Structure 1
């Protein structure tokens, strides 16, 4: 997976500068999310309900986003 970096070094408005610990925590959360989604993909073999697997995937993505926002602490209007 690629790493997001501003091309011109500019700061994203509404976000504070992340520490190395923040970055490590966010990357760990994203890795956990990837592992969980990979397990859901493994279960999607036709024997399990695809609708519920899709819901689980969406909910995991939402949980990962919320947890990363908890670490990043963006402004309330972002």
Structure 2
């Protein structure tokens, strides 16, 4: 593994301690929601189409949240 590999990727920057904590909090909440989606997916009476829409939209939402915290310098 390469130390400080984010420094070798264009558009990445160093994060503050607060940003790191917020990023980890957001990613933890996303993991919890992912587990809920998995549980709901096992239920026979759940509308799978809407569950898939929810999963995609929530993934996009959490990715947007992470990007809002990280503020990458690239597109």
Shorter-normalised TM range: 0.7 to 0.9
Q: Gapped runs of 5+ residues in structure 1?
A: 1-5
Mapped partners of 2:27, 2:66: distance in 1: 8
Mapped partners of 1:50, 1:28: distance in 2: 28
Which position in structure 1 is the counterpart of 2:30?
A: 33
CA-based RMSD of the aligned residues comes to: 1.6
Q: Gapped runs of 5+ residues in structure 2?
A: none
Which position in structure 1 is the counterpart of 2:44?
A: 46
- What is the number of equivalent residue pairs in this alignment? 72
Query: Structure 2-normalised TM-score?
Result: 0.82
Query: Structure 1-normalised TM-score?
Result: 0.79
Stretches of 4+ moved more than 6 A in 1?
A: none
Mapped partners of 1:41, 1:49: distance in 2: 13
Mapped partners of 2:17, 2:27: distance in 1: 15
CA deviation vs aligned residue, 1:15-61 (integer Å, no higher than 9, x gap):
22111211110111111111112112111211111111111111111
Mapped partners of 1:8, 1:23: distance in 2: 17
Q: Does 1:66 align with 2:64?
A: yes
